[in-house]
Amino acid sequence: MDVYEAVTSRRAVRGFTDRQVPRETLERVLSAAAWSPSGSNIQPWRAYVVTGGPLAEIKKRAGERLAAGDPWDEPEYEQYPPTLKAPYCERRSAFGAQRYGALGIAREDLEARQRAASANWDCFGAPAALFCYIDRGMGAPQWADVGMYLQTVMLLLRAEGLHSCPQMAWAKFHTSVAEVLSPPSELMLFCGMSIGFEDVAADHARTGRAPLDETLMFVDGS
Ligand SMILES: Cc1cc2nc3c(=O)[nH]c(=O)nc-3n(C[C@H](O)[C@H](O)[C@H](O)COP(=O)(O)O)c2cc1C
């Protein structure tokens, strides 16, 4: 698979089969992803790749909290600016309408949306997950480094025939994740990532992108 195909075939997959992902494949992907760039090569990501019993335990703990109606954890970072201005706000609404519309869920049906969103904490059925932490002391450039690392992981997963879904949703259950992974206290959970083989029977809509002239400018003097 060439890089263009990896980029364009990667999408947030929200339905996986229970086919296990071989440990050697995960090791190959994560070893290659370690070559991701970072400012001054400080490599600020800290990733935990979790499968089997420990992942089942994380899903179980999150599921029990959902079933009990426990409040979410406050994420340890602001996931979006408190007032999301145009055009970002409109793009976010369009995404929500598309995602839940594809599932036949009406905009005002908050309960059904919540139910669909709760699949996040089962990793959409995926048998593997990556939990990505960052040191609390890091600033915006290092968060960007972590983003590059995660995209590198996702592209390499495509090269292995695997799919993924990055999930900030896991930051809302960071204490449950920490109970199982016991990360050092200086780390905060940025996101999880479901990893596995796509369930091709699961419905999905391909999320679009803004017209290029909204996000890109060529400046060549002509
Ligand atoms: C950092 C990050 C966090 C995300 N968190 C979630 C999440 O919690 N749940 C989810 O279903 N999708 C999540 N997504 C997936 C985005 O919704 C998705 O990437 C976006 O809508 C574009 O769609 P595409 O990736 O399928 O092209 C996240 C993506 C990123 C990059």
CB 146 within 8 A of CB 37: no
Instruction: Say how many C-beta atoms besides its own lie within 10 A of residue 16's C-beta.
Output: 25
* Ligand 1 atom at shortest distance from the alpha carbon of 169: 8
Cβ of residue 12 lying under 6 Å from some atom of ligand 1: yes
DSSP letter for 57, please.
Answer: H
What's the gap in Å between 165 CA and the centre of ligand 1? 6
* Domains of the chain: residue spans and CATH: 3-75+120-128+137-206 (3.40.109.10)
pLDDT of residue 203: 76
Cβ of residue 165 lying under 6 Å from some atom of ligand 1: yes
- Closest residue by CA, ligand 1 atom 22: 207
The dihedral region occupied by 148, where left means phi > 0, alpha psi between -120 and 50, and beta the remainder, is: alpha
Residue 156 banded pLDDT, cuts 50, 70, 90: very high
What are 185-222's pLDDT values in tens digits?
999 999 999 999 999 998 788 999 999 999 999 999 98
- Closest residue by CA, ligand 1 atom 19: 12
- Closest residue by CA, ligand 1 atom 31: 166
Q: Report the candidate in 203, 124, 208 with the shortest Cα–Cα distance to residue 170.
A: 124
